[in-house]
């Protein structure tokens, strides 16, 4: 069982490809990592970003898929419109099933994109994806709607061009899913914690791992809520390897 992350590198390993690989390992699947950008960041601040050129991103994907049979892939920080277009082309070329974490801003508040990428995501990538997992701020950018209630979140899912999960960390723990046109609300207890860096990365990569293990999209999302909750509560996703 091999899955793939396409995202940036966070040297503190709380987010990005390193975090995704740890989640894949914790959930019992083998993870490959495609690098779109190198960052200098920690849980508190983004210092700088050095993007990887599109040709090398393309070559990384081709190299991995030359050796491994991959069905499920997650995307994180894609940085530019050009990389978004490239990934959409690779989805077609290799018949990939993509879960898109539409990363645009780090948990610390740092901008992780070259431009406002919402339009490019809506035009090129989301229509070819099986799921996207925006937080409230990202969903607002994707839809142009202000989201301050469960009803707002439900309305926003109607404007997103694929199955969607709007996460509830900034909406009183209300996770709003629209899967194949069906709305499901999953409310979770919010934990007071400083251990929130990379939670979106861990959620989307856990969903991919559960999909690879044969679960449907809705079940994969619900199991991933529990995975992330336990990671926040324990303060270390690595401790989950022995538990799950």
Is 32:70 a contact under the CB 8 Å cutoff?
A: yes
Mean per-residue pLDDT over the chain, rounded: 88
174-179/182-187 β-pairing: antiparallel
pLDDT for the residue numbered 193 = 52
Mean pLDDT over 168-191 rounds to 86
Can you tell me the distance from the alpha carbon of 101 to that of 124, in angstroms, rounded to the nearest whole number? 14
CB 241 within 8 A of CB 25: yes
How would DSSP label each residue in 116-178?
Answer: --HHHIIIIIGGG-SEE---HHHHHHHH-----SHHHHHHHHTTSSS-EEE--TTTTTEEEEE
Q: Comparing 10-14, 201-205, 221-225, which segment has the lowest mean pLDDT?
A: 10-14
Q: Are 60 and 32 in contact (CB under 8 A)?
A: no
Which of 222, 220, 200 minimizes the C-alpha distance to 211? 220
Is residue 206 within 8 Å of 227, Cβ to Cβ?
yes
Average pLDDT over residues 1-15: 93
Task: Give me the percent of the chain exceeding a pLDDT of 90.
Answer: 71
Q: According to the model, what pLDDT value does residue 114 have?
A: 57
| Domains recognised in the chain with CATH numbers | 2-242 (3.40.1190.20)
């Amino acid at each position: 069982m091999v899955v793939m992350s396409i995202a940036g590198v966070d040297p503190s390993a709380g987010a990005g490809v390193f975090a995704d690989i740890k989640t894949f390992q914790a959930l019992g699947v083998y993870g490959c990592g495609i690098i779109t950008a190198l960052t200098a960041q920690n849980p508190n601040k983004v210092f700088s970003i050095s993007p990887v050129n599109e040709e090398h991103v393309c070559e990384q994907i081709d190299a991995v898929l030359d050796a491994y049979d991959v069905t499920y892939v997650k995307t994180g920080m894609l940085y530019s419109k050009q990389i978004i277009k490239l990934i959409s082309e690779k989805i077609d070329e290799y018949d990939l099933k993509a879960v898109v974490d539409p990363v645009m801003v780090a948990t610390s508040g740092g901008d992780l994109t070259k431009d406002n990428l919402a339009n490019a995501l809506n035009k090129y990538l989301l229509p070819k994806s099986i799921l996207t997992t925006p937080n409230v701020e990202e969903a607002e950018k994707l839809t142009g709607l202000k989201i301050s209630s469960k009803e707002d979140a439900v309305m926003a899912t109607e404007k997103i061009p694929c199955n969607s999960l709007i996460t509830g960390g900034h909406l009183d723990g209300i996770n709003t899913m629209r899967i194949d046109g069906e709305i499901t609300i999953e409310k979770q207890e919010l934990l007071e914690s400083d251990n929130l860096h990379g939670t979106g990365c861990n959620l989307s990569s856990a969903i991919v791992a559960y999909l690879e293990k044969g679960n449907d999209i809705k079940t994969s999302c619900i199991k991933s809520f529990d995975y992330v909750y336990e990671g926040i509560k324990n303060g270390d996703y690595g401790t989950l390897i022995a538990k799950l």
